[in-house]
């Protein structure tokens, strides 16, 4: 291992708030642990004060707050509570904070649409493709697939001039049907989406796991489909590809592609167990940064054992990476994946290397 000449500054500008793990769905690859714990109003009030004070002290111009669950729209009263609290501290007209909700898209009513519009909340919906593909893994508690409900709700959102973005989990059911998946999104009126690889977070997810070669084939088919659509005058955006292209140009605003990734450095997660973690994919005791009620200012977290470890990790470079021609572009891969692969933070993930090298080679040829 040798030192890399770079040090990232602890400067979180993305805050994920997981109010509870309540959900009306039971997706096969869900990574949220079932629990009844939820953030109390006291904790939400404290989170709002911590974020507001951080924005002021660091003179931040743009901060993002994302609400994740479970299904966050089941906790809409608490989301409203925190937005109201933040607006009362930070002048609403300053527009420093951008709010986003990642929802399963099944409970979007007319009233919720008005509420989203008024607060200019960005909406991300999870959908894995057409009915047969999506419903194989994404089911409601009664066992029915979510597709029909989500399809109707996307229509309602688009009619209300809200453009939802889609997050798709590429897994065993859809990795070789990406053209079909994208064409389905176009039919639904979706023009922007992100294709993420499944992480083997539990035994069900492991059954749907894909190889790096399969994810590469999926991403290649996505690029080919986007080009075909562009030739027909249809402009669509696949966010993972755009992030990789920005990375090749030497800049990326994608948290996961920064070097090292933004977990705990650019992003903090306020979790429903009332503790702070570096990433919503790493909710583990050994990565707990602090209990929310013990923090009086976010700057204190910089000295925590977890943050010091994450920042220092960016200064180390393994023998494999030192001799790798892709090292200038590569961030060493996703920490959450390494943890699942039982690797140390500074070890490489062969899954990541294989996909990254193939995909970069391909992008450089188009």
Interface ranges with ligand SF4 (CB under 6 A): 255-256, 261-263, 279, 281-282, 320-321, 324, 326-327, 330, 332-336, 348, 352-353, 356-357
Angle at 99 between CA 165 and CA 121, to 5 degrees: 60
Q: How far is the CB of 356 from ligand SF4 (least distance, A)?
A: 5
Tokens of 261: 């990734």
- Put residue 238 in one of left, alpha, beta given phi > 0 → left and psi -120 to 50 → alpha: beta
Output 98 or 354, the one with its CB closest to ligand SF4.
354
Instruction: Give least dist CB 80 to ligand SF4, A.
Output: 27
Report the residue number, 12 or 72, with the smaller CB distance to ligand SF4: 12
52 vs 89: CA distance, rounded Å: 7
Which single residue is written with the structure tokens 């404290």? 46
Residue with Cβ nearer ligand SF4 (94 or 319): 319
Closer by beta carbon to ligand SF4, 217 or else 357: 357
Distance CA 273, CA 196 (A): 26
Q: How far apart are CA 53 and CA 280, in angstroms?
A: 23
Q: List residues bridging with 268 in a β-sheet.
A: 15
Pick 48 or 335: Cβ nearer ligand SF4:
335
Smallest gap from Cβ 324 to ligand SF4, in A, equals 3
- Specify which residues 15 forms β-bridges with: 65, 268
Minimum distance from residue 197 beta carbon to ligand SF4 (Å): 11
H and E: helices and strands count for the chain? 13, 12
CB of 331: closest distance to ligand SF4 in angstroms?
8
96 half-sphere exposure, CB direction, 13 A CA radius: 20
Of the chain, the end-to-end C-alpha distance in Å amounts to: 35
**Secondary structure letter of residue 299 according to DSSP:** G
- Quote the least distance from Cβ 339 to ligand SF4, whole Å: 8
Residue 217 CB, nearest distance to ligand SF4 (Å)? 18
Q: How far apart are CA 79 and CA 322, in angstroms?
A: 45
Task: Return the SS3 of 276.
Answer: strand
> Least Å distance between CB 34 and ligand SF4?
21
Nearer to ligand SF4 by C-beta: 246 or 357? 357
The DSSP symbol for 90 reads: T
């Amino acid at each position: 291992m040798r030192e890399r000449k770079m040090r990232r500054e602890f400067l979180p500008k993305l805050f994920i708030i997981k109010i509870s793990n309540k959900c009306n769905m039971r997706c096969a690859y869900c990574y949220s642990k079932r629990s009844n714990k939820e953030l109390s109003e006291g904790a939400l009030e404290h989170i709002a004060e911590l974020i507001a004070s951080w924005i002021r002290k660091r003179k931040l111009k743009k901060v993002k707050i994302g609400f994740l669950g479970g299904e966050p729209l089941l906790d809409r009263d608490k989301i409203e509570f925190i937005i109201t609290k933040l607006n009362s501290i930070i002048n609403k007209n300053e527009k420093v904070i951008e709010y986003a909700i990642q929802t399963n898209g099944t409970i979007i009513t007319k009233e919720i649409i008005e509420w989203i519009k008024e607060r200019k909340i960005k909406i991300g919906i999870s959908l894995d493709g057409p009915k047969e593909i999506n419903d194989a893994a994404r089911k409601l508690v009664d066992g029915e697939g979510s597709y029909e409900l989500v399809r109707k709700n996307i229509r309602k959102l688009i009619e209300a001039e809200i453009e939802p973005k889609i997050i798709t989990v590429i897994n065993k059911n859809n990795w070789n049907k990406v053209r079909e998946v994208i064409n389905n999104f176009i039919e639904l009126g979706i023009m922007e989406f992100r294709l993420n690889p499944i992480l083997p977070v539990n035994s069900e997810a492991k059954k749907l796991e894909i190889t790096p070669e399969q994810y590469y084939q999926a991403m290649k088919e996505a690029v080919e489909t986007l080009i075909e659509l562009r030739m027909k005058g249809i402009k669509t955006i696949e966010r993972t590809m755009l992030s990789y292209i920005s990375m090749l140009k030497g800049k990326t605003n994608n948290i996961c592609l920064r070097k090292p990734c933004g977990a705990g450095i650019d992003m903090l997660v306020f979790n429903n167990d009332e503790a702070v973690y570096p990433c919503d994919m790493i909710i583990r005791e050994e990565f707990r940064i602090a209990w929310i009620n013990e923090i009086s200012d976010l700057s204190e977290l910089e000295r925590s054992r977890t943050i010091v470890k994450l920042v220092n990790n960016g200064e180390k470079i393994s023998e494999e990476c030192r001799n790798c021609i892709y090292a200038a572009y590569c961030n060493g891969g996703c920490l959450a994946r390494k943890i699942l692969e039982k690797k140390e933070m500074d070890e490489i993930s062969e899954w990541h290397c294989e996909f990254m090298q193939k995909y970069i080679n391909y992008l450089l040829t188009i």
